[in-house]
A and B are shown apart, each in its own frame.
Chain A
């Protein structure tokens, strides 16, 4: 980024970065450190750090440092990057230390996600206060050994936002305040692509987003109902499980997305072709794309497999006998059977 981003608090900003090495775990005095970063809240300390071992695209500098993992992030006041701790970033001991210093622990958990980044200590900029990349190199010890812990200094006056919880930098990755694309202190690099969100599960903040309990309960039970009514007419979707003999896992199809047996049959062929191909690889077929559709159809429609379904009464039936509409009403699950197993269904083979 070229121009430093002004305008956010403008001149009130100072960006200093404070690093403490692991030996100063107990120390809260930052006098010894050269740089002190103020985050956008005017606090003298870096607050939360995204220790981001969940970062999906770690950027490795030529020196082999995982710079992305060392980004300093600012979270909501009192935030700990709880959601981001990986196996190798245990925080418990640090959290306890924090608690002693800061009895207030307002946030029970923290929302992860796009937090503001701090400035890029790494990019040497016109603000000489930042660590340049070379300085970082010098300061950085090999990964896994440096555990800088940043705590609010006790000199912070009570009127200062003392509630900023210093996240603890621990663990494998060396954390350095860094925002790779910004060159400006306190820049809020909140774009999601800079900071990995914890994938599916988010640590939740109490009372946020502000949705009333009644609504939350209703939403929860609505979605549950929608899942429960799979296969029933009421939702307009009719998902049934499809199993194939010899396949390691099952699939699900929405019968209502097809208008006739042909559509269902083609879809199943496509879905299960991988298993079929695996079996018939010795026939000289190298990969899925190589297999022609007609050959695939032959395999499925040929003597090897039959398509059967379990109806509402629990009986296993051959697919294709009843009108399509009736079929999707009564079908509870599908099974692609080896025809050799299809005794009892007679010699009827589902083939054209």
Chain B
């Protein structure tokens, strides 16, 4: 059955019983309704040709009908499923995902060892297996459109809104270095070496062109923000390491988008000239900067709009979500990097929105963002599991294993080389342990999965799909599960869990001003110089323009002091402080 075997572990009796009932009801519902093939969230528009049996669909519809009527003339009671089908099924999937997630946290020691993403994929595999067993056809596949348009934006928005701004900008150079050069290195490395191996290997893949391998390389090389987020959230490494890996996964979207589209269009063209490659290079700049500008624009407009929401406070959070989503969609429309746009939008508008809207609205924004991103993430992983169960896998031991090996190899080499160069320019060198975690934390996820389905059909496409799935499952399961013990084994620096004291804040601020001053004396345009220049510009122009007069923000020292006083008044001890500070 599709019921999770959670009930076999020892749990507080009554509470588990309460959880049992809705779960059972939901699963039975889901099973019954999944007998009906047409589903809104699944790929009805863009199915890979070998997946989904179209001829069978019609028969199913005729059979299942969906109308259960009492056989008398006057219908007192009837069930009209088709009327509510689409939203009903969407809600049921979300319900399944959320209840599964609830279930894990009750299941004792498992969540401590296995990251949530793995458990969710396993649930997905289970559900997919059940569907396959019941219907004897492939279960529905996560449609690329649903993923890119509905499931990905909330996660990226949440990530961008809670991005530690200062740390991000301090490390921006390094992050860009890894994101741009690292991704390029990986793509070319994997693509070219796979091509070389296939030409020599005699695995029956000689006729696949170099461009196909490069295309494959471009989608499999990129680190996935969703996977990184879900795994790194649980291991609590030091903030600098976290921002390096996470920032890289966000910013490499621009490179991935460009390379993928580039190789795809090259595949369609009869011949490729040097000019085309050059144009591709320029396109990268356009895509990246374009996304940035779109995000900036919408961020500033959102900030300005919230200035006027004093009289309609309830809808203030809505503007945050609408403008962010709009920036994503606009960017996608113009073929810019949607992720960069939405992250830029969130980072830009955050300080002004926080100052302009009421406390309650701020809390609402926070909670809604967390909730949506959580739901999205859960759904993505479950669908990854479900979509793995298909009858179209093409397996090839040498190809799959060499792809896996090359992915790991190129990533490790890339990180080593790039760090060696960048350490000379950084104030704070990236240690070998951190480098190892950066290389090991290069997880792949649903973005590669969706991209591989979008490739135009060619003879070996199924092989690529299978390989991509294997790589994703390997990185999420093997790397995801072992990274926590490795972090502990290698004694990687962990995150400080307590709030800073007021003294630290005051003295650090003093040091900031001191360093800016010294940089001015020396005439060195360093980080402090630019930070100060921006702060000055911000205070003089932006804040005046974008924030209401009476809400001009106070210094961070004052805010920290007020926060600490508030917590002490509420009677929280040091223990309480430590529990509350992570995540939220």
Are chains A and B native binding partners rather than an unrelated pairing? no
Q: Which A residues are within 8 Å of any B CB, using their own CB?
A: none
Q: Which B residues are within 8 Å of any A CB, using their own CB?
A: none
